[in-house]
Amino acid sequence: MAKKNVRVRKVPVALVTGTTKAGVWLGSIRLSGFSILIMSLTLLGMLVLAPNIKIWIEQRQVIADLQAEADLKTSQITDLEKQRARWDDPAYVRAQARDRLYYVMPGEISYLVINDATIDDLKREKATASLQDTSTDWVSGLLKSFLVAGLGTPTPEQVQPTQ
């Protein structure tokens, strides 16, 4: 076969040259086949590992929740064992019988107060939101306190010398 003389015409093409920093930076990027291969392998690795990492994180969270629940149950068991040990003590059982069931030992007299007035039952003045001004002169009170302390008569214990 004979080669045909094909005339190739070269057309000049103006490339876009960036005048901004981003344009200069984008223009300086050269992608080779190796860099495209490495980026695609990295992306593939992330796609393969992402579900497994998500499952691992969820499992760690479940393990942490179960560990917290086990610690709570352990503390509850410890508290119940302490309570059971207290009930094995006869003095504790006797004290609980006195408090809860009003038991008394032979020879003791029990007094029960019925309709006892509590602090809540007493009449109290209601608090108001307005400010109240008191008419006290604290300077004269302080001066009187100094004078009474300094000019008062000593007690017999203060007069006797200590040995």
Q: Over the stretch 48-71, which tens digit does the pLDDT of each residue have?
A: 999 999 999 999 999 999 999 999
Angle (CA) 67-69-74 rounded to 5° is: 95
Q: Over the stretch 109-147, which tens digit does the pLDDT of each residue have?
A: 888 888 776 666 566 777 778 877 778 888 888 888 888
Spans of all domains in the chain: 52-107
Question: What pLDDT shows up at residue 158?
Answer: 73
Q: Are 102 and 112 in contact (CB under 8 A)?
A: yes
Question: What pLDDT shows up at residue 162?
Answer: 65
Residue 149 has pLDDT above 70, yes or no: yes
Residue 1 has pLDDT above 70, yes or no: no
DSSP three-state, residue 147: helix
Question: What pLDDT shows up at residue 9?
Answer: 81
Q: Which two tokens stand for residue 137?
A: 């002169």
- Provide the 10 A C-beta neighbour count for residue 103: 13
Q: Are 77 and 83 in contact (CB under 8 A)?
A: no
pLDDT classification of 76: cutoffs 50, 70, 90 = very high
Residue 106 has pLDDT above 80, yes or no: yes
Residue 17 has pLDDT above 70, yes or no: no
Residue 87's contacts (CB-CB under 8 Å, 6 or more residues apart) are: 93
55, 56, 69, 70, 71 from 62: Cα distances, Å: 11, 10, 11, 12, 14
One-letter amino acid for residue 93 of the chain: V
Supply the DSSP symbol for 106: T
DSSP three-state, residue 35: helix
